[in-house]
Amino acid sequence: MNTDLILNLGLSFTFITLAIYISNKIKFSSIPFLIMAGMLVGPHAPEALGTSLAIVHKTESIDLLARLGVLLMLFYLGLEFSTSKLAAAGSSLIKGGTVYVGLNFVRGVIFGWIFFQAWPEAFVVAGITGISSSAIITKLLVDLKRTANPETEFILGIMVFEDVFLAIYLSVLSGLLFSKGDVELLNILPGMVLIFVFIISIIVLGKRIGKLLEPRLSVKSAESFVVIIFTLLLLTAILVETIHIAEAIGALLLGLVLAETIHSKRVIQFISPMRDLFGAVFFFSFGLDIDYRLFGGAVSITLAAVLMTVLGNIITGLLASWLAGYKSKRGFNVAFTIIARGEFAIIVASLAATAGVSEILPAFAALYVLILAFISPVLAKNSRLLYEKYSKFSDYFFKPGTQKTN
């Protein structure tokens, strides 16, 4: 049994290595290639010459490494900032984040109603299309070396906003799907308030918490230091899960707190290799869950959703960035970086299918996420170029004296 487990992990890392090698060769983000690799060799793999290519199994060990990958990616992103910087954004972040999350959700509800003509399906589609993938966005920020950019703190704020919204959304969704539409506000409200108060408290008190932790992290031994940090990360994930906050957001908050200490650069040095290693496992593991055979009936709605998401997200992203004080190219960086959708879309679609809402939703969500995994890195990478094109267009048509004369 142990031999089979090691063999399965060995095969997984072989295909992960191959996917990263190919992506590096063509100078493209590794995310879609890792997802595709998981699809091609996982439980739902196609057949070649009458032989199934399903040679990698989804095991608990792969699930564990994948979860650690998400934790480490968000933890690293938090370390690049601090609670002080996030708190300083204040009202501008609240305005921009509320507009972004609110408009995306409303757009998703309208889109879902047009295609399904039913409120449960519309509400599910809004969750699939309205929530960004924190894992993919973090990976893009690292790959593009934008983690230290000023506008990235707004992207962090959006992730936190989305997590608070998710707690509300999932509570209402469960009521719609499993309680015959009866949703008791009094049952949801205490949890909402607890989550909101916890997150705001960490952001406001983060500097003080960091200073309390600082002397306790002053250990010379590299072994002791990395074990302490890793333990803190796991305990934080356990703590936030108990109050229904995503463990990845807990990791992000811990990173923001530790960024207030003198040890932040040392932490980054130790966790960066683990972030890359386990992060790759996460995207590969994500692909293992996707069954391409279900795509056929969902192509038309998926293509429409992708177009709606890209265009709609650019508009809402630019508007939210403008309200938060990020204009010009920084606003473009925000709008074109937060387009990716990911693991949450699959979870919501599976929940809807379990409740018997619509059989097409899991296939729609999987194909939708896969297409955006290819599109979003291209848009994020070229956001500055797109801004330059927009500026030239704007100057030509809207500024006096710049038009050509006949």
- Total number of domains constituting the chain: 1
For position 404, what pLDDT does the model report?
A: 47
**Residues sharing a CB contact under 8 Å with residue 119, sequence separation 6 or more, in sequence order:** 113, 176
Identity of residue 29: S
In a domain, 38, yes or no: no
Question: In the predicted model, is pLDDT for residue 358 greater than 50?
Answer: yes
Question: Average pLDDT, stretch 182-200?
Answer: 68
Nearest to 145 by CA among 349, 380, 400, 404: 380
Question: Cα–Cα distance between 246 and 240 in angstroms, integer?
Answer: 7
Nearest to 183 by CA among 196, 193, 195, 173: 173
For position 217, what pLDDT does the model report?
A: 93
Question: In the predicted model, is pLDDT for residue 179 greater than 70?
Answer: no
State which of 149-153, 187-191, 216-220, 286-290 shows the largest mean pLDDT: 216-220
Share the mean pLDDT of the chain. Answer: 86
**The two three-digit tokens of residue 101, written as one number:** 């999350």
Identity of residue 296: G
Nearest to 343 by CA among 136, 168, 196, 147: 136
Q: Is the pTM of this model over 0.85?
A: no
In a domain, 404, yes or no: no
Question: Cα–Cα distance between 324 and 316 in angstroms, integer?
Answer: 12
Dihedral over alpha carbons 116, 121, 126, 127 (to 10 degrees): -150
The CATH number of the domain holding residue 259 is: 1.20.1530.20
Secondary element (H or E) of residue 63: helix 60-79
Residue 239 burial by Cβ neighbours in a 10 Å radius (0-12, 13-18, 19+): middle
Predicted confidence (pLDDT) per residue in 222-279, tens digit: 999 999 999 999 999 999 888 777 788 889 889 989 999 999 999 999 999 999 999 9
Query: From the centroid of its chain, how far is CA 2?
Result: 33
In a domain, 211, yes or no: yes
Nearest to 148 by CA among 379, 276, 333: 333
Query: From the centroid of its chain, how far is CA 103?
Result: 18
In a domain, 37, yes or no: no
**Residues sharing a CB contact under 8 Å with residue 154, sequence separation 6 or more, in sequence order:** 89, 93, 96, 97, 320, 321, 324, 326, 334
In a domain, 312, yes or no: yes
In a domain, 300, yes or no: yes
Query: From the centroid of its chain, how far is CA 32?
Result: 14
For position 191, what pLDDT does the model report?
A: 66
In a domain, 71, yes or no: yes
pLDDT band at 406 (very low <50, low <70, confident <90, very high): very low
In a domain, 249, yes or no: yes
Q: How far is CA 225 from CA 158, 238, 268, in A?
A: 31, 20, 12
- Helix and strand numbers, DSSP H then E, in the chain: 16, 2
Question: Cα–Cα distance between 96 and 311 in angstroms, integer?
Answer: 18
For position 129, what pLDDT does the model report?
A: 93
Domain that holds residue 310: 59-386
Phi and psi at 377, nearest 5°, equal: -65, -35
For position 391, what pLDDT does the model report?
A: 82
Question: Average pLDDT, stretch 19-29?
Answer: 93
Q: How far is CA 377 from CA 139, 298, 403, in A?
A: 10, 23, 34
Question: Cα–Cα distance between 240 and 249 in angstroms, integer?
Answer: 8
Question: Cα–Cα distance between 395 and 302 in angstroms, integer?
Answer: 35
